[in-house]
Amino acid sequence: MEEYAAFEDKVKRTIYIDNLSPLAKESVLRAALDQFGNVIQVKFIRSYLEMKGMACAALIEMQSAKEAKTIISEIRNSPFMISGMPRPARACSAVAEMFDDRPRKPGRKIVCRWLKTSDPDFEVAMKMKLIIRKHAKEANFLLKRQLEEEEELAKEQSESLNAIYSKYELIEDVTKSGTAIRLAKRYKMRIADVDR
Amino acid sequence: MASVETVKVEPSADLENEEEVKFVWGRKRGIGGKRKEVQFYESFTYDDVEYALYDCVYMHKEGQLPYIGKIIKIWENPDKSRKIKVHWFFRPSEILYHLKGVEVAAENEIFLASGEGTGLANVNPLEAIAGKCNVVCTSEDNRNPQPSEEEVKLADFVFYRAFDVGKCSILDKMDDKVGGLDVKYVFNRKESQKASHVLKHASDQNGDKNTVEYQATTKESFGLKALNDLGTSKASHLDGKIDVDAQSSLVRQDALQRETNVSRVNKETTKKANSAPGEQNSDDVSRVPKAAGKLSHIVGKSDVNVQTSPVRQDRLHRDANDSGVKQQSTMKGNPAPVQIVNSTATTVVQNTISEENARCKIKNEKDDKKVNKPPINLVEAGETGKSPKDLGVLEDRPSKRIKVNGSVTLSEDKGVNSVEKSTVCRNGKKVLGTSAVPSEERKKSVDSKLSGGLDKNMKIRKDSAALDSRPSKKANIDARKVQEDRDKSNMLGKCADNLGKLPKLSTGTSPKEVERTEGKSFEVTRRPVAESSKWFKAPPWEEVMQTANEQGALILLENLNPEYTSGEVEDIIWHACRENCTTKMVQRTAFSSPYSGRALVAFKTREGAERVTKKLADGCLMVSSQRPLVASFVSLPKTEGNASSLAGHLCVDKLRLQLQREMREAVSTSHCSQPNTIEYEMANEWRLLQARSDSWWNRLYKQQKEDLTKIASGLKRK
């Protein structure tokens, strides 16, 4: 009972953070969140059924629930980037089911029953099973779609970023090499903030 | 005595036409001022809206959400300028800092200013009023007439606390005077003054139409709130197809749009008689309740009694469109405007589920009677530019498998382009031969769900054909069904083996075994731990899992209560099947189902795994009476060798090398982004996507839960 209470307390102090890059290791996460408070533990969540390209998630235990809340609201309010930009990480409060080493809930009784084939519920249950499988696939599909969307956005942004960078380079080039100044002289225009 | 004057107000620059804004003074109150030159009033009518002392109003603020205030004084100066003194309310966003650690009760909670100092009240020109606001006091103070639930729901805002502007703190109790204002004017006033009767336009909340509420009250609430939601099924309404029998409903748009004129325009376009509060005012308060599927539709059409110049309306419409367009450009042609200002996950609801539905619709043209969701969803489908061949498994939600009562949909693949996914849906009762199917009315295209997209189509069909020819014994059918399902759920195409093996296993053995243990319920306690395992520590889960994976002894259990722990699942398996195993509950993530938990179960031997799977498949193990367990073989997807970077983490190609070097050396590369950078904008795009995905998942799981509960209601023993 006590164990469970301690666990619940831990849950309150823990943040669930995802949209993490696989490159973000524990040290990085620690350093990132140190500014908010004392990081007690960092544990990555692995479901082993992950698809390629999925973002990683981790559970971070802080020293106090307040720190946890602060972090969550900070991350929610302004984009917090860990180990790469511009995709920001996302954080929310942890829930008991996220912990893989959780203790049993005291007082929980599990009752099971094999159904007789003659039981009218049997039919219903079989149908339920089918539905569940269907649901699993739907979820799978959605996940894939999500990944696709993410990749698409990334691609778009990458292109625009590169375009912006080329423009920047162009401008820099022109000013550095003096072309801009020469042109300005020729056309008798003034250029602002030129190094004199 | 009311003195009636009609004053011509100078039109603001924004209005194209010169307009007279109607203004009429109400009841006089008294004279004041040093030289008795100031005339106080109790009420006035501005732009056909009557305002009285202590009414709550919106005050226009350039470029921002409007302020909310309570009129506490009204007067006219000798130079004919009209002033009001307004006692302010604070939105939570205005005092966020002081709300740290304080729970905000409702989304529309505001705080009355109290105490002394700046920010308590101000004098403003009367023309700064942007509309009336319905603020309900929900304080439980016994001096406060308690509002009904309906009133609270319909209120624009609620408040029960005050904010002391001097001390910058929240006050729960109201004194006799709050910031100089007599407390009786703080609380709700007696009903005799308000004739608030609400007419709700009957509409389908979830469906295509929006819910428009007409509030015919003397305090008409304009609620030009900035609440933009992405809607889809209602995207069609962009064309103004709303069947509302009144008018142009202006949807909440963001403050960029707002001008005092706008509210005036609104009023004028729709009012029939402003002196008849009891009537159903064709008021253009279109408040789309947050609960319903949201949308922002911009309708510029008004069908009834349009007395005013179409010019105004168009302008409105145009303005609306403009803001819509502006915002649209960031959204890749999404038909509905997006609000970026206040994008919290709750208000941004992107209905991408309907995308999938739409796509399925495209796919299943010949499909069923049940219209999935309104065809408008095709708009969405078009938007993402996915070709019809990218088909979803989410076909035809309403055409749930369960509804296929008595019809087997085993038709051949009818050339539906590149069907990678399809589902077999069978009802245990009937089995029809493959060729006989076409006679079925409800013919769906083949539905054998494949996750791998290999030539499983061929295999399955072959199997089905083979299986079909067997005598239809119930248990067998189930077994077959299960086999097919099991095959499909194999992620990496190892089903070939299974296909070969299973048909043999299914005959004969299943009915007997199931009967032996069925019927009784048993409690699951901690299983007896085998002696040997006490002597040495069990190897870490990863190892166990990998070994099992290689041997094909790894099972995925679904439909568990997500709260269970791994140990409990192991116990369940033990008690139910007398098999030892090692389990790990799949940890919940941001997008795992909140209702159905999954667990990976590793057995020592493949046979053990098979036994359990078969048992669970043939029979029904009901856990806690509502959850039949579903088991399937699974093999883990091969993980990548190196951790590569995440999609969305960009770097400029040219600088790539340099950056990578830096990255490797840096331990901490994280930071909060500043608003004036490109990365900030891009980050916001990502957050938008994240919010959208959240909403997809929410909808999916909600839908799934409904599906399940519906079926579960058919269970006799609960």
**Pairing of β B28-32 and β B621-623:** unpaired
A173: closest CA of chain B, how far (Å):
15
Look up residue B521 and give its two tokens.
């319920």
Say how far apart CA B613 and CA B608 lie, in whole Å.
Answer: 9
Residues of A within 8 A of B447 (CB-CB) are: none
Q: Which residues of A touch B380 (CB under 8 A)?
A: none
Domain ranges within chain B, ordered by starting residue = 23-185, 541-633
B559 touches chain A (CB under 8 A): yes
In B543-691, the DSSP E strands lie at 554-560, 582-585, 597-602, 621-623, 627-628, 630-633, 649-650, 671-672
pLDDT digits (tens, 9 = 90+) for B432-447: 333 333 333 333 333 3
Single-letter amino acid, residue A75? I
pLDDT at B542 over 80: no
Query: Is residue A63 less than 8 Å (CB to CB) from chain B?
Result: no
Across B340-344, B374-378, B426-430, B593-597, which has the greatest mean pLDDT?
B593-597
Which DSSP category does B95 fall into? G
CB spacing of B673 vs A80 below 8 angstroms: yes
CB-CB neighbors (< 8 A) of B527 in chain A: none
* Contact yes or no for A48 and B600 at CB 8 A: yes
Rounded-to-integer distance, Cα B54 and Cα B137, Å: 13
B23-185, what's its fold? SH3 type barrels. (2.30.30)
Please answer yes or no on whether B568 and A100 come within 8 Å at the CB atom.
no
pLDDT at B657: 57
Burial B357-388 (b: 16+ CB within 10 A, else e): bbbbbbbbeebbeeebbbebbbbbbebbebeb
| pLDDT tens figures, B464-490 | 344 344 443 443 444 444 444 444 444
Residue type, B134: N
- Look at the block and give the residue holding tokens 């589920």: B353
The winner for highest mean pLDDT among A68-77, B35-44, B417-426 is B35-44
Mapping DSSP to helix (H, G, I), strand (E, B) and coil, where does residue B628 land? strand
> Look-up: residue for tokens 């139910």?
B576
ipTM > 0.95, yes or no: no
Contact with chain B for residue A123, Cβ under 8 A:
yes
Which residue, among A10, A86, A20, has the nearest Cα to A57 in the 3D structure? Answer: A20
d(CA B693, CA B698): 9
Nearest-CB residue to B670 (from A28, A103, A113): A28
User: Is B718 an 8 Å CB contact of chain A?
Assistant: no
Q: What is the pLDDT of residues B316-371, one digit of tens each?
A: 344 434 433 333 333 333 333 333 333 333 333 333 444 444 443 434 434 343 33
Task: For chain B, say whether A43 makes contact (Cβ under 8 Å).
Answer: no
Compute and round to an integer the Cα radius of gyration of chain A.
27
A88 shares contact with chain B (CB less than 8 Å): yes
Whether pTM exceeds 0.80 = no
Q: Backbone phi, then psi, for B238, in 5-degree steps?
A: -55, -30
Residue of B684, B258, B37 lying closest to A157 (CA atoms): B684
- Average pLDDT for chain B: 60
- CA dist B338 and B354 (Å) reads 18
From the list B114, B115, B108, B162, the residue with the least C-alpha distance to B135 is: B108
| Number of neighbouring beta carbons within 10 Å of residue B486 | 21
Q: How far is A160 from chain B (nearest CA, A)?
A: 10
User: Of the spans B198-207, B467-476, B569-578, which averages the highest pLDDT?
Assistant: B569-578
Closest-approach residue (CA) in chain A for B473: A117
CA distance B557 to chain A (A): 11
Helix (H, G, I), strand (E, B), or coil: what is residue B71? strand
Chain B contact for A133 (CB, 8 A cutoff): yes
Q: Which residue, B261, B324, B255, B258, is CA-closest to B296? A: B324
Dist CA B281 CA B269 (whole Å): 11
Taking the Cβ of residue A35 and every Cβ of chain B, the question of whether any pair is shorter than 8 Å is answered with no
Interchain contact, B520 vs A127, CB within 8 Å: no
Cβ within 8 Å of A, B 513-532: 514-515, 517-524
Please name the amino acid found at residue A180.
Answer: A
Residue B522 is nearest to which of A112, A142, A146, comparing CB atoms? A112
Q: Which of residues 196-255 of B touch A (CB under 8 A)?
A: none
For B261, residues 6+ apart whose C-beta sits below 8 A from its C-beta are B12, B14, B15, B19
Domain B541-633 has CATH 3.30.70.330: yes
Lowest mean per-residue pLDDT among B100-109, B133-142, B644-653, B693-702: B644-653
In this complex, is the C-beta atom of B709 within 8 Å of any C-beta atom belonging to chain A? no
Q: Which of B148-152, B329-333, B582-586 has the highest mean pLDDT?
A: B148-152
Written as one string, the DSSP assignment of B323-392 is HHHHHHGGGTT-SS----TT--TTT-----HHHHHHHHHHH-TT--SS--S-TTHHHHHHHHT--TTS--
Helix (H) or strand (E) segment spanning residue B656: helix B656-665
User: In this complex, which of B587, B649, B670 lies closest to A87 when CB atoms are compared?
Assistant: B649
Helices and strands (H, E) in chain A, number of each type: 5, 7
pLDDT for the residue numbered B536? 62
User: Using an 8 Å Cβ cutoff, are A56 and B643 in contact?
Assistant: no
pLDDT at A193: 61
